[in-house]
């Protein structure tokens, strides 16, 4: 008799280019290892489920650990266009090093039957429309997540 | 070592070599062998962890120049 299938539950609460990676990397890898996986997207994490990921960016502002080609004073990081530049640079780096895009990882997660759950409260709070989100996702709240998480072998908050 | 299928995962970073390995094994029958070539140094540890957690056997792993070569036997 095969052992019970392991489960992993993740809360994805961040909507930046860097912080979008951990939940999707772990979800896809766990699925490849045979886990049943659910990811609950709440607050800014919800951006990762929108059809367009153009809002998912990275800013050097208040992000002192971000490697920059030249040392950059905080006030320079704050000028208009810096966030867009940092996002473009990061995406180039990601591509150059053979790291998957967030779009690709999300597609792989769906193909691997990872259950993606959008937080209904956040959708109402930010007045998003369901039509802005990709197909094939579920909608739910805290109790939905906890029901699965209570039986999970691994639970992570990102 | 003979193999039934080959996966070229060169140039890809974590977790893609593992995800593609999982996918490629899906096309094989039990007992068949997959050869995976990767350039990601992280894949050495990860392939061992993948094998031990999925029950597929890692028959061998070696270096060929800049490549890491793995032979996996499907469970």
Where exactly are the structural domains of chain A?
7-56+101-157
Q: Which of B8, B14, B23, B27 is catalytic?
A: B14
A1 pLDDT more than 60:
no
pLDDT of residue A75: 87
CA dist A93 → A40, A59, A96, B3, B8 (Å): 28, 15, 5, 34, 22
Dump pLDDT digits (tens) for B21-46.
999 999 999 999 999 999 999 999 99
Neighbouring-strand partners of residue A116: A39
The interface predicted TM-score (ipTM) is 0.89
Burial of A42 (0-12, 13-18, 19+ CB in 10 A): buried
pLDDT of residue A2: 64
| Test mutation, A25, A31, A98, chain B, max B CBs within 10 A | A98
A157: three-class secondary structure by DSSP: strand
Active site residue B51: no
CATH superfamily of the A7-56+101-157 domain: DsrEFH-like (3.40.1260.10)
Domains of chain B, CATH where assigned: 5-73 (3.30.110.40)
A22: three-class secondary structure by DSSP: helix
């Amino acid at each position: 008799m095969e052992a019970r299938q392991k489960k992993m539950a993740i809360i994805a609460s961040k909507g930046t280019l860097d912080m979008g990676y951990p939940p999707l990397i772990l979800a896809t890898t766990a699925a490849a290892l045979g886990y049943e996986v659910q990811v609950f997207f709440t607050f800014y994490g919800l951006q990762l489920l929108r059809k367009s990921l153009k809002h998912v960016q990275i800013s050097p502002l208040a992000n002192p650990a971000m490697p920059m080609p030249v040392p950059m004073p905080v006030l320079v990081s704050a000028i208009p266009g810096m966030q867009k530049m940092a996002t473009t640079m990061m995406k180039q780096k990601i591509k150059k090093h053979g790291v998957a895009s967030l779009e690709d990882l999300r597609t792989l997660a769906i193909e691997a039957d990872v259950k993606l759950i959008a937080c209904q409260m956040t959708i109402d709070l930010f007045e998003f429309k369901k039509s802005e989100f990709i197909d094939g996702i579920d909608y739910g709240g805290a109790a939905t997540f906890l029901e699965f998480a209570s039986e999970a072998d691994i639970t992570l908050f990102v | 070592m003979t193999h039934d299928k080959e996966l070229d995962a060169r140039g890809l970073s974590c977790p893609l070599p593992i995800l593609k390995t999982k996918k490629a094994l899906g096309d094989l029958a039990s007992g068949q062998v997959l050869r995976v070539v990767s350039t990601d140094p992280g894949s050495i540890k990860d392939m061992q962890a993948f094998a031990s957690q999925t029950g597929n056997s890692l028959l061998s792993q070696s270096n060929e120049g800049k490549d890491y070569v793995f032979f996996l036997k499907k469970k």
